[in-house]
Structure 1
Amino acid sequence: MTIHTPGIPENVVLAQSVNGRLRADASLIAARAFLMRAAGAGLFAALLGAGIGAAAFGWAYLNQYETAAERIAQAMQSALSEVTLKTKGEVTLTDNVLRLDQPAAPAKPDFASVVASQKDDGNAAVRTTFTVFKSVPHLDGNIVTGWQFKGDEKQPESQYCYFSHPQKFGSDVLTQVNIAINGQVAPQTNSELDLKRLSKSCIWFDPKKV
């Protein structure tokens, strides 16, 4: 081995060895870097190709259905254009107004005629009255309004409203709480019920609706 560098031969040999090792390491690193760049470029190209392929597949898939729909539409149009409809006969409209008849409301009973038909055998002491009840469901019972008529009156002689409900769950025995008489709220005696609020559900007689 010939040494052309001035200095101690051992140091020169060591320096050349270190220099050669560094060059080898540098070459190895450069080769690895090139390999990584090549792999990255290849992966990018593969993903790009896969994306383009998926887009092309989707376009072809949609275009296939659109083409099929167009073909079906054209076939139906062609078939209908060749069909000839022939009809015979005559239709005559005798009335050009279409009427939808509403079902007639049930007639209200004429209480005066009913009472007049019931004879009291000439007994002047007999007084005939009748009461019409209107009820509204509330909680476990009903708010009931009574219209009390004389036999010959068209308006009630008096009216009253009360709340009727079972004494206990499942019982047939009813309890009545007076709410109002002739539109006037009764005195508050039961703290559990708000009579003023309940009176709003009473149905008082309205002569305008008769």
Structure 2
Amino acid sequence: MSIHTDGTHENIVLAQHVNGRLRAEARMHFARAFLLRAIGAGAFSALAGIGIGAACYGYAYMNQFDSAAEKIASAMQAALSDVTLKTKGEVTLTDNTLKLEGLPAQKANAVPTPTKAQLGTDAVPASQAPVNTTFTVFKQVPYLDGQIVTGWNFKANEERPFQQYCYFSRRSNETKGQVEIKIDLAMDGKTLPQPQKSDVNLGILASNCVWHDGKTL
């Protein structure tokens, strides 16, 4: 039914009023729908921005710690490459004598003396017989395919040897195994008599013996 039909003036005005009200309500519904769509789009954009911002923050946060770890690792590597390990102790020079803290001082060129524990002064046989303690210092000089060995025999608490001997030693491989050849050269700084049936010159070999005082006794 059309509202533009013939009728009274009141009916025409009422029809126009109703038609205008419907159009106004339609505009209101359209505006409300647009507002809701705008709010939804804004909320979506806000949430998307928050998500992107959080992701960027997390990425930057992780990179920051990675960079810090890399810097620490590089610093430690550089420090360890140049590190010098030092032991605890003190080395001082006093009156041309080298001393190490915690060790007894020794005179220059002094003969090494065993400690009490090394000498075993408390060791006794089952028979309880008196025990004489001595020790030997060896000086070795390479010679040809062997070596010339000088032995210094010391008594406990004495600085000069009571006996010295010198010999030539050489090892050779034989079919039955390794054999050691030993030729006595001198005793107490004096060359032993030259054997008649020997091609070895004891005097030449004995010149390489190392005596305690640097000369014959």
Shorter chain as normaliser: what TM range? Answer: 0.3 to 0.5
Specify which structure has the bigger relative contact order, considering alpha-carbon pairs within 8 angstroms and separated by 6 or more residues: 1
What TM-score, normalized by structure 2, do the two folds share? 0.41
Hey, which of these two has a bigger chunk of strand by percent? 2
Please give the TM-score of this superposition, normalised by the length of structure 1.
0.42
Which structure features the higher share of helix residues?
A: 1
